[in-house]
Amino acid sequence: DGGITQSPKYLFRKEGQNVTLSCEQNLNHDAMYWYRQDPGQGLRLIYYSQIVNDFQKGDIAEGYSVSREKKESFPLTVTSAQKNPTAFYLCASSATGVHETQYFGPGTRLLVL
């Protein structure tokens, strides 16, 4: 079955610690995205990538980093510079094109200890 997987489902971060959220897709999509969602809020774009080895900052990139070494994978690192990381993180992918639909993974809920 094609789809997007995210792991872990829940992640706990200690003060000053970097953590990495995994996102893998087998839909053969070129574009991948990371969003942050806070309770009762919409989706805010953190980073996106239209092609392997290239990515762009979204609206709230500070305190986050990404890599895109493989088409299937787009991991997100929440660094210690992100002072308020508690949120629901969603990864999405789409085919390339302005009319394409985004497909979302199940999300990772990050909590700070």
Tokens representing residue 88 in the block: 């629901």
- Cβ-based nearer residue to another protein, 18 or 26: 26
Q: Residue 35 or 74: which CB sits closer to another protein?
A: 35
Sequence-ordered list of residues with C-beta below 8 angstroms from that of 26, at least 6 positions apart, any chain: 2, 3, 72
Task: Report, in Å, the least distance between residue 8 CB and another protein.
Answer: 15
Closest CB 98 distance from another protein, rounded Å: 4
Dist. CA 33–CA 69, nearest whole Å? 14
> CB-wise, 53 or 96, nearer to another protein?
96
Binding stretches for another protein (CB under 8 A)? 33, 35, 40-43, 45, 48, 50, 56, 58, 90, 94, 98-107
Do strands 54-57 and 76-78 pair parallel, antiparallel, or not at all (unpaired)?
unpaired
